[in-house]
């Protein structure tokens, strides 16, 4: 198989990474996609760094064996915990992309000198990765971070666009630490599923930054620069899970508009 025809691998702990996968398929319709949802270990946001690294290595092995030319870590927690390790582990077998660096580049380009808010899992916020990267690349930006640990499990359970999610979102976004911001980074790939609710809280007067489209553009640029882009008009999508869940199957249908077949692939026997 030519390098250009090899598939793109995407992984996350659950349904959040489907926001990235959907954006990639819209922007790159000719690319074959392999998605791995590590549903046996979701959510990653409350797992240790060592655990996330172990899961990531196992998933990378699965995607490499299936010939992926690029692997997108479609999870902020895994991007902060496992990106450097995966780059070293995979080496020249595939290109590794995370969801953090494209967002940092976007924020630096559009919000230099401003106060910017961020909401994410405990793991992502505690890692300080966004603060560190912004300090290195755009120190004029003041970042205000807030851990919002209830949001990812709430979304995984299907509680969004209802009264429960409205109240939880409003409780978090009313925190004083987010006052005065000019933009809000959604530092979890689950959060685009509640982007409209977040936008509603701010009455449409806040720049809401989700990584799905930004990451898709970064992947497109990366493939083109490295001669890996596939210009075909037909493509396939395969979905793997480490543990079958009806909610994941339903969410996949919601994103891709048709019945999908989930292939179970346990990371440990």
pLDDT by residue (tens digit) across 168-204? 999 999 999 999 999 999 999 989 989 999 999 999 9
- Is 108 labeled as catalytic in the residue annotation? no
Residue 88 has pLDDT above 80, yes or no: yes
Are 38 and 13 in contact, with CB atoms under 8 Å apart?
yes
* C-alpha to C-alpha distance for 182 and 149, rounded to whole angstroms: 23
- What DSSP line would sit under 181-214, residue for residue? -SEEEEESTTGGGGHHHHHHHTTT-SEEEEHHHH
Q: What global pTM score does this model have? A: 0.91
Confidence of residue 225 (pLDDT cuts 50, 70, 90): very high
Instruction: Confirm whether 68 is a catalytic residue.
Output: no
Is pLDDT larger for residue 83 or for residue 14? Answer: 83
Residue of 68, 108, 138, 188 with catalytic role: 188
């Amino acid at each position: 198989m030519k390098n250009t025809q090899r598939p793109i691998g995407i992984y996350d702990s659950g349904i959040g990474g489907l926001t990235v996968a959907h954006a990639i398929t819209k922007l790159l319709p000719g690319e074959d996609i392999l998605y791995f949802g590590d549903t046996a270990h979701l959510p990653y946001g409350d797992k240790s760094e060592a655990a996330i690294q172990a899961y990531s290595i196992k998933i990378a092995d699965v995607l490499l064996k299936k010939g992926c030319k690029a692997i997108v870590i479609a999870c902020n927690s895994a991007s902060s915990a496992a990106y450097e390790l995966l780059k070293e582990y995979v080496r020249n077998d595939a290109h590794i992309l995370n969801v953090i660096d494209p967002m940092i580049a976007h924020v630096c380009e559009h919000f230099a000198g401003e106060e910017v808010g961020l909401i994410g899992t405990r793991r992502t916020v505690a890692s300080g990765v966004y603060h560190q990267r912004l300090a290195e690349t755009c120190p004029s930006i003041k970042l205000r971070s807030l851990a919002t640990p209830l949001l990812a499990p709430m979304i995984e359970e299907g509680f969004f666009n209802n009264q429960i999610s409205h109240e939880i979102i409003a409780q978090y976004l009313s925190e004083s630490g987010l006052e005065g911001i000019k933009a809000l980074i959604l530092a979890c790939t689950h959060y685009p599923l509640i982007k409209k609710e977040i936008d509603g809280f701010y009455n449409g007067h806040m720049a809401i930054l989700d990584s799905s489209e930004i990451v898709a553009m970064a992947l497109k640029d990366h493939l083109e620069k490295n001669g890996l882009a596939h210009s075909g008009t037909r493509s396939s999508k395969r979905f793997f899970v480490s543990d079958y869940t009806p909610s994941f199957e339903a969410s996949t249908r919601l994103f891709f508009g048709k019945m999908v077949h989930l292939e179970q692939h346990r990371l440990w026997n």
